[in-house]
Chain A
């Protein structure tokens, strides 16, 4: 069974690598770059919000920080165009991560709703700073980046592969966190933070670490975005819709799962790009997008991955397996009567580590 899983993953990887070569149309590869970018951001966001259950809606602040960090570094250090800016990406990520530390410390003092709003507030602060700190950010005139030395038909390819690399790295970290005791602690925080704290889980440092890790990747993607679009402006680098879109992707795919965020991105981003193409950024676009959101949320409340894995598990049970999925009744005396392994109890289905 594991062989199939690994083989499947390798095939997907090969497909992802081959994609731009098979579909070199720049319109298609541009959408692909953005899709990978959002997939990476969604995976990173999931490392924090999916695992701990704290919904952060201010990560666009880190994206924008990364974008501006990249732009400023290229500008102040006179970075030549070409492949060199890509080498700056880890540094850009680090900048975002460092910025995330004080923000995380402040925000994580609060819980649930207050936390959500304070992350939103941080986002707006950063956006306002981008507009107003003209000396640094050039205000609404924006900043430009070096123009890549390659162009034309193959413009997108390097960006595609760099973004893919970031996505894979984020996925790797997400997988590793999920399978470590540290990750278990995060999930325990999601289920019952005070109980976890009472049992000795270091909730404060755990949450902050996840927050900073997610900021690191989102920052890197911001830097990548900046170089890709060649010029950044406050409303695009710090986009109010960014976090909600990512949250929707994760949530649609399955919050807290490994593949959920990617599936969500694969579905939503091309769709969004298609709509923008058809309708432009005007009223219709917003209305349809909003309706799409609503439909997804109301129809698929748990997300695609958990819903399908549950459906799958139920099919196997219905095929008359003697052993109910999830384990047999324990042999200990007295416990038999209480054995009610209702798989339908949807809340706690173990996620499939896809």
Chain B
């Protein structure tokens, strides 16, 4: 019983980190209607950036975020400007192909710079654990979770308490209508894209501190993130959060109850089951029939 509870707790804590990563993905989808497949690779990139700062400049992982997040934000702006904005037609498929290409380039570049050996981020809180109610949890899980909560709260405040956030929500609801009332949808899209990528920088750090990774880890990651946002409903931040927690808890519990080998498969099978019952995900919207 104890190991199940521990699995649930770990699941929730890691779920928080996945929520951070998938929020970027679902936010970008909500505003731009594109699936940014490169997010997996960008998370890994964020992980490597933190790795470099920590290993060569001895900057603490969390402090390093003050550098990596703005850098990734700017990278996001650039990516949107150069590669997404020119896509005028067939955006759905083209954006998938384009972002996939970007992911390949990032993966290749990281492989050239860092080799394909697995690395992990180190800090005192990665190896040390704290005893809470009889369970030993590595500090990093708790810190990572707090980071996620902090950033997601920040995002929430941005979306609901600022004018910019209002424009984002308007664009998410109805792009054309937003344009008609004077919102510069292109600019909003670009900035949102940047924010999404900045979030993945943070996610990358938390991910890298809890799991060892190499450039090839992006495939596994993006497949899970995609499943999470579909489950939660594409474009829904609430959905991303709940789906992340749900999936990670189920996965961790399956690993202890059944076997770690099957836990990833369960992940995907769960998606299929949910979609059978509710094709639009938990908080998503059904595509309509009418005009």
Binary A-proximity of B98-132 (CB < 8 A = 1, otherwise 0): 10111111011111110000000000000000000
CB of B261 within 8 A of CB of A132, answer yes
Asked if A124 and B109 make an inter-chain contact with CB atoms under 8 angstroms apart, the answer reads no
Neighbouring A residues of B262 by C-beta, 8 Å: 132
Tell me the bound Cα distance from A129 to B111 in angstroms. Answer: 28
Contacts of A248 in B (CB 8 A): 97
Nearest CB on B from A61, distance (A): 11
Q: Does A84 contact B (CB under 8 A)?
A: no
Question: Which of B101, B229, B265, B272 has a CB less than 8 Å from the CB of A118?
Answer: B272
User: Which of A110, A286, A289 is the most central at the interface, judged by chain B CB atoms within 10 Å of its CB?
Assistant: A286
Residues from chain B with Cβ under 8 Å of A283 in the complex: 107-113, 215
CA distance A288 to B87 in the complex (A): 21
Name the one of B87, B92, B113 contacting A55, with C-beta atoms under 8 angstroms.
B92
* Contacting residues of chain A (263-292) with chain B, CB-CB under 8 angstroms: 282-291
CA distance A162 to B205 in the complex (A): 50
Q: Which of B42-50, B56-64, B188-196, B276-284 contacts A (4 or more CB under 8 A)?
A: B276-284
Check A284–B108 contact: CB distance below 8 A: yes
Contacts A290-B105, A298-B86 given; indicate if A114 touches B111 (C-beta within 8 A): no
Binary contact readout A310-331 vs B (1 if CB under 8 angstroms, 0 otherwise) = 0000000000000000000000
Indicate if the CB atoms of A301 and B88 lie closer than 8 Å: yes
Mark A164-202 against chain B: 1 for CB-CB distance below 8 A, else 0.
Answer: 000000000000000000000000000000100110000
Interface residues on A, range: 35 or more
A345 at the interface (CB under 8 A from B): no
**B275 touching A114, Cβ below 8 Å:** yes
Provide the residues of chain A in CB contact with B97, threshold 8 Å.
244, 247-248, 251, 293, 297
User: Could you pull out 23 A-B pairs where Cβ atoms are within 8 angstroms?
Assistant: A57-B96, A110-B275, A110-B280, A114-B280, A114-B284, A117-B226, A118-B275, A121-B227, A132-B262, A197-B289, A247-B93, A247-B97, A283-B109, A283-B112, A289-B108, A290-B101, A293-B97, A293-B98, A293-B100, A297-B87, A297-B94, A298-B86, A301-B94
